[in-house]
């Protein structure tokens, strides 16, 4: 699933309507700004790069972060309320010298939310 698909799925889960897509930007109407200005105000919805927005989603959907010390070295994420939570692992490879995760924490959080809402 690419970044655009991840963001589109999260918007669907959140009940937002996509106004338009331009390149990698997904625009939705910001109702708070629209109420102030009286015009349609569009924002690029991107919880992959907006840490505050991603954190709000993490809290709302009760995404839990746990350290996996064995087979999948790294942090894993899942939605706490889900009966059979799929764990999305942000693997960190310590043997290659970079010690960087294979996906960002924000992407792991969003994928955990999507996995919990796989209808």
Domain map of the chain by residue range? 3-46, 59-116
115: CB partners within 8 A, 6+ apart: 78, 79, 82, 85, 86, 88
pTM (2 d.p.): 0.79
* Residues in the chain, overall count: 119
Residue 100 in this model has a pLDDT that exceeds 70 = no
Beta bridge partners of 89: 76
Instruction: Tell me which residue has tokens 């996906």.
Output: 103
Integer Cα distance of 87 and 57 in angstroms = 17
Residue pLDDT, tens place only, 36-61 = 555 666 778 899 999 999 999 999 99
């Amino acid at each position: 699933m690419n970044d655009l698909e991840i963001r589109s799925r999260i918007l669907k889960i959140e009940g937002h309507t996509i106004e338009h897509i331009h390149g990698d930007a997904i625009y939705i109407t910001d109702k708070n700004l629209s109420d102030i200005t009286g015009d349609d105000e569009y924002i690029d919805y991107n919880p992959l790069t907006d840490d505050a927005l991603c954190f709000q989603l993490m809290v709302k959907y009760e995404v839990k972060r746990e350290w996996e010390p064995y087979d999948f070295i790294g942090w894993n994420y899942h939605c706490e309320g889900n009966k059979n939570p799929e764990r999305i692992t942000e693997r960190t490879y310590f043997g290659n010298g970079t010690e960087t995760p294979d996906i960002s924490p924000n992407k792991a959080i969003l994928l955990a939310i999507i996995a919990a809402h796989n209808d």
